[in-house]
Chains A and B, each alone.
Chain A
Amino acid sequence: MATGIKDKVAIIGAGCSKFGERWDKGSPDLMAEAFEEALADAGIERKQIEAAWFGCYGDAINVGNSSIPAATALRLENIPVSRMENMCATGTEALRGATYAVASGAVDIALAIGAEKLKDTGYGGLPPAFKGTFNDLWMPMVSAPAGFAPLADGYRTRYQISREDLKRAIAHVSWKSHQNGVHSPKAHFQKAVSMETILNAPMIADPLGLFDCSGVSDGAACAIVTTPEIARALGKKDIVSIKSLQITTSSGRETQMSEWDGSYVPNTRNAAARAYAEAGITDPRAQLSLTEVHDCFSITELVTMEDLGLSDDGQAVRDVLDGKYDRDGAIPCQIDGGLKCFGHPIGASGLRMAYEVYTQLLGRAGPRQLSNPSMGLTHNLGGVPYQGVAAISILGLL
């Protein structure tokens, strides 16, 4: 019987570049920026890394495919470097690869790095995706916000919530992240925004306005992992260990059968159940100190609070408006600003979340430091709510 990876692997170093419109930096620069921070944090040398996983989503506007761009940028010599792509779950997938390598005993120290250069397209938002020769024949060519916006219809229908009430709740989601972004010096957006501005922003995909959509940013983030024993041997006292890393992928049930009502993300629920089981979490509301979730759009974060079991079904609107997930709430969410304000360079996002949880657990978060966090959860949602990849990691102090 598989025992999972709980406490078999520790993060000994993490790095994150400044996110944002990095006009003067390319992907290799951003990778180096994050990598150097992580190396210094880990207190190891480059040559001690025995394997690496490189996460990057869109090669067409980036560095080209394969792992070679990362190996070249970071001069990773004579070690296996793997390329990982799993939409917005890419960064967490890279971490999973490195973690599994260490947990299996194949290597002692591994690197996971994710990077994305989105601001070389010449326009805002994500580039239109190629969906495959068959899917392109029939799938509507909707944008990312239009893929997520229908969650609002599904949610409103199920819980009989007015358009206005839901709009106010999702506006609060973005408002809260902007409040947090103020204290996040590496974040793309570091300005508070009023509820009025959010509510009156131009419509992108009904009901999502401009401020309901996450930032489109350049950035890189990475983590260096090893075993807790080696971490101690390297002199680490507070050890951040990986409690769980779980991913689930749509098999088509949501889109092709009539059982799903569109009000939640089945993938997230499945990944959460697996992650809580692996981490031994029985009461996430009591046991999780913070979450960094995939707020690509405000409605996603609201629904995710229920999918993770942090709000009762149908209660997320109330909980959000009550401030349960604000920085001074019961379970702060996006304390670093989230995708909304920290930014969303796709391949880096999962690792950026892990970086923040790691930083919080070690008490190094400066003005945004939470009081005595012990366990944090990261969540990514690749693709769309009805056809995608959900990735969850749970990190905690050993």
Chain B
Amino acid sequence: MSDFGITAFGAYVPRMRLDRGAIAAAHQWMAPSLRSLAKGARAFCNWDEDTATMAVEAARDALVGTDRTQLQALGFATTRPPYADLQASAIVAGALGLPRTLRTIDGALGQRAGTSGLLAALKAGERSLFVASDAPRGKPASTQEMTYGAGAAAFVLGSENVAARLVGAGSIAANFASHFRPEGEDFEYHWEERWVRDEGYAKLVPPAVDAALAQAGLQIGDIAHFAMPSPIRAIAAAVAKQLRVTGELVDGLEDGCGYAGSAHAPLMLARALETAQPGERILVVSFGQGVDALVFEVTDAIAAARPARGVSGSLARGIVTDAYLRMLSFEQGIELEWGMRAEKNAKTALTEQYRSGGQIDTFDAGACGSCGTIQFPQLQYCVKCHEPGSGFTAVSLVDAPAKVMTQTSDWLSYYPSPPLFGGFVQFDNGARLQMEMVDVGPEGLELGMPLEMVFRIKEQDRMRGYSRYFWKATPKLDGKKD
């Protein structure tokens, strides 16, 4: 097999966490049995996060040290695209500043979209970026509401410094409707778990795994890490037992993340890669109207390929809340009284958005060609020396070190997650602008606090269903593992 595979990877899990006990408590009056699932916390998207923004953050984690100009393709997988017809991969590529010549493709509407898309990208053999990002929604008081979560995993594929190479793969296609979600519906309709377990997992997974192992020329005993999501409780352990897996069962990320749909198997692969040693093999299995089984072999390059944050870093960054209605409101599961201020017309001039692309997508400040002053936004003349802006050089602020200069918490403006934190952000390179600050933990904001930039929904146009995106500042955390 040619030397092609995963050269880098990254992950993102939203920082918002809801204690599952709070969900169970809210439904105690009508569904007391949910108590049995009330362990740990699940992740949920902040009001301004969606599968596109999570994909950007996971990709940024993965792309550190990668020459983005060399990427030929971007694949994106989700079951919850921001739009039915507007390519999320183009939004993601724009925010990442990927080359114009990029081939973008949004993948598959099923639970296996993450593994199928990754497999396709690996088979294509191009230098590419693949991101699976998902935020499945569970109906209030459903098992899914308790077990679901959100997150994204990203993989850079190439032939230099391959850290994990695909050595075998097998797939099964089956019209096995364990669940379905009609077009335009919020929630899935699930069939009985026992049937899914006995007729689905137990009978469909083994042949896919056998095929993958056969292609790799390996036995199940050669697998050091078995990564299979458990959207049904303990299903991974049961399948592992059936397959006679002797290796480690990779953490199912139930605590701190929760089942992240089509991104979950990729997240577990990323999690396994964070600890796997050179020479070890990882078996990744995902299930959904069939099965994908992928066998990876880890190389010596793995140490250099590990991301700053990754899955474990993401899990360590939670901001835990017990406000169940907050999650419900963010998911548009409940219509709260936001007052007349929320009636604001948030129409985006798509013409303006396109012609301002670099400034909005990749947060490009301009460095004056005459005096060197770095400034955002880039206007017609330099703010300092008044030389024409045509002489500016773009300087992205996305990864530029910055600090809180001034801040306030605004309780008056309409904001889906009050208060609205805002203030001046001073970049070390001299740029300065007023920004929204998000994911502010209970510790609040302090003057001089280091900040990092995150790609988020700037404003939602609820009348037309359009979200405009921009960068926001958030307190900088050390994403490295302890």
Contacts and interface: CB of A to CB of B under 8 A. Distances in A.
Interface of A: 121-123, 125, 127-128, 133-134, 136-146, 149-154, 157, 202-206, 208, 251-253, 255-258, 262, 386
Given A149-B410, A205-B419, 6 more contacts: A141-B414, A153-B408, A154-B405, A255-B424, A256-B383, A258-B430
A253 B406 CA distance: 16
Contacts of B459: 136, 141
Contacts of A121: 340
Contact of A255 (B340, B373, B432): B432
B352 A257 contact: no
Given A140-B434, A262-B424, A257 B341 contact: no
A2 B426 CA distance: 40
B306 to A, nearest CB: 34
Contacts of B86: none
B359 A138 contact: yes
A204 B408 CA distance: 10
Contacts of A152: 408
Contact of A128 (B348, B359, B413): B413
Contacts of B409: 146, 203, 205-206
Interface residues of B, number: 47
14 contacts: A123-B340, A128-B341, A143-B410, A144-B412, A153-B407, A153-B423, A203-B409, A204-B410, A204-B411, A252-B379, A255-B424, A256-B377, A257-B383, A262-B406
9 tightest CB-CB pairs across the interface, nearest first?
A150-B406, A146-B410, A149-B408, A143-B412, A133-B352, A133-B349, A153-B406, A140-B436, A143-B413
A255 B383 CA distance: 10
B26 interface: no
Contacts of A203: 409, 411
B4 interface: no
A121 B343 CA distance: 11
Nearest to B373: A257
A137 B348 contact: yes
A154 B383 CA distance: 21
Given A145-B412, A146-B420, A204-B411, A140 B376 contact: no
Q: Which of B341, B348, B407, B459 has the largest number of chain A CB atoms within 10 A?
A: B341
Given A123-B339, A137-B470, A257 B384 contact: yes
Contacts of A252: 379, 383
A291 to B, nearest CB: 26
A26 B344 CA distance: 23
Contacts of A139: 434
B94 to A, nearest CB: 13
B375 interface: yes
A143 B422 CA distance: 10
A141 B472 CA distance: 12
Nearest to A208: B408
A130 to B, nearest CB: 8
B477 interface: no
A150 B407 contact: yes
Contact of A137 (B356, B373, B432): B356
B422 A256 contact: no
A206 B408 contact: yes
Contacts of A138: 359-360, 377, 433, 458, 470
A386 B412 contact: no
Contacts of B420: 140-142, 146
Contacts of B373: 257
Contacts of B436: 140-141
A131 B69 CA distance: 35
A388 to B, nearest CB: 13
Q: Which of A137, A151, A157 has the largest number of chain B CB atoms within 10 A?
A: A137
Interface string B416-443: 0001101110100011111110000000
A154 B339 CA distance: 32
A146 B412 contact: yes
Given A140-B436, A150-B423, A262-B424, A123 B341 contact: yes
B430 A257 contact: yes
A149 B410 CA distance: 9
A45 to B, nearest CB: 43
Contact of B344 (A128, A153, A251): A128
Contact of B412 (A133, A137, A205): A205
A372 B243 CA distance: 98
B432 A256 contact: yes
Nearest to B352: A133
B353 interface: yes
Contacts of B423: 150, 153
Contact of B414 (A128, A153, A154, A205): A128
Nearest to A145: B412
B412 A134 contact: no
A142 B340 contact: no
B349 A251 contact: no
A149 B411 CA distance: 12
B468 interface: yes
A37 to B, nearest CB: 33
A166 to B, nearest CB: 13
Given A140-B435, A257-B430, A134 B408 contact: no
Contacts of A202: 411
Nearest to A130: B345
A153 B447 contact: yes
A390 B80 CA distance: 49
Given A123-B340, A134-B377, A203-B411, A258 B426 contact: yes
A137 B352 contact: yes
B410 A154 contact: no
B73 to A, nearest CB: 28
A258 B432 contact: yes
A386 B434 contact: yes
A145 B410 CA distance: 8
Nearest to B379: A252
Contacts of B379: 252
A123 B352 CA distance: 31
Contacts of A134: 352, 356, 377
B342 to A, nearest CB: 9
Nearest to B344: A128
A194 B463 CA distance: 44
Nearest to A153: B406
B454 to A, nearest CB: 14
Interface string B352-369: 110010011000000000
Contacts of B341: 123, 125, 127-128
Nearest to A138: B470
A153 to B, nearest CB: 4
Given A121-B340, A204-B411, A256 B424 contact: no
B373 to A, nearest CB: 7
